[in-house]
């Protein structure tokens, strides 16, 4: 696989990697079939790769996913159709197809990870107006 030189993992990347490890631990304890969310796994894997400065090929992502390659490929297509991910070609090797998150998806995942850590405040629901008595 051809990719950019890896950089040190950001805090957000470490949080995403921690989420991946937690999911694998949950699968070891409760079994792989009870909790299956391939789309989420793929999003987290892509986020970590991007935070490390790596470009990921579609075939590599399929092999890294904790589901059969055919299932991973089906979910990759769903992410692409929903605009959560985008494909690109290698200018030097037309056989290679890269996949990455869209900028909006990357930022949404970053926000999600920080919110889960309690760092960014969640928006508060609007309070109903009080009636004067």
DSSP letters spanning 78-111: HHHHTTSEEEEE-SS-TT-EEEEE-HHHHHHHHH
The helix or strand, by DSSP H or E, that contains position 97, with its residue range, turns out to be strand 97-101
Q: Residue 129 falls within a domain, yes or no? A: no
Q: How far is CA 46 from the centre of its chain?
A: 5
What is the rounded average pLDDT of the residues 72-77?
A: 96
Of 5-14, 46-55, 120-129, minimum mean pLDDT range: 120-129
In a domain, 123, yes or no: no
What local confidence, expressed as pLDDT, does residue 10 receive? Answer: 78
Residue 45 lies in a domain: yes
Q: Given pLDDT bands bounded at 50, 70 and 90, which one contains residue 30?
A: confident
Which pLDDT band, with edges at 50, 70 and 90, does 87 fall under?
Answer: very high
Average pLDDT over the chain reads 81
Structure token pair of residue 50: 């991007």
- Give the residue-averaged pLDDT of 92-121: 85
* 87 is a domain residue: yes
Average pLDDT over residues 75-89: 97
- pLDDT at residue 27, as a whole number: 76
Range of the domain at 19: 11-116
HSE-CB at 96 with a 13 A cutoff on CA atoms is 13
CATH number of the domain to which 74 belongs:
1.10.10.10
Distance between terminal CA atoms of the chain? Answer: 70
User: Position of tokens 């949950």?
Assistant: 26
Task: Record the tokens describing residue 132, joined without a space.
Answer: 């004067």
Is residue 24 one of the residues assigned to a domain? yes
Structural domain includes residue 122: no
* Sheet arrangement for strand 97-101: 56-57, 97-101, 85-89
pTM: 0.73
On the question of pLDDT at 123 being above 80, the answer is no
* Cα 129 to Cα 111: distance, rounded to the nearest angstrom: 30
CA-to-CA distance for 8 and 49, rounded, in angstroms?
11
**Residue in the block written with tokens 């299956």:** 36
Say how many domains are in the chain. 1
3 pLDDT band, cuts 50/70/90, is very low
* pLDDT digit string, tens, across residues 51-62: 999 999 999 999
| Residue 69 counted as domain residue | yes
pLDDT at 5: 46
Tell me the helices (H) and strands (E) count for the chain, helix number first: 5, 3
């Amino acid at each position: 696989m051809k990719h950019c030189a890896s950089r040190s993992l950001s805090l957000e990347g470490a949080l995403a990697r921690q989420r991946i490890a937690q999911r694998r631990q949950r699968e070891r304890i409760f079994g792989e079939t009870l909790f299956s969310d391939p789309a989420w796994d793929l999003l987290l894997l892509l986020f970590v790769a991007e935070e490390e400065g790596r470009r990921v090929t579609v075939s590599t992502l399929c092999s890294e996913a904790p589901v059969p390659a055919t299932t991973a490929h089906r979910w990759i297509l769903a992410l692409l159709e929903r605009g959560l991910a985008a494909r690109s070609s290698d200018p030097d090797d037309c056989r290679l197809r890269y996949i990455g998150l869209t900028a909006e998806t990357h930022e949404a995942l970053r926000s999600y990870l920080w919110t889960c850590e309690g760092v960014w405040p969640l928006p508060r629901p609007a309070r109903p107006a009080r009636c004067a008595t």
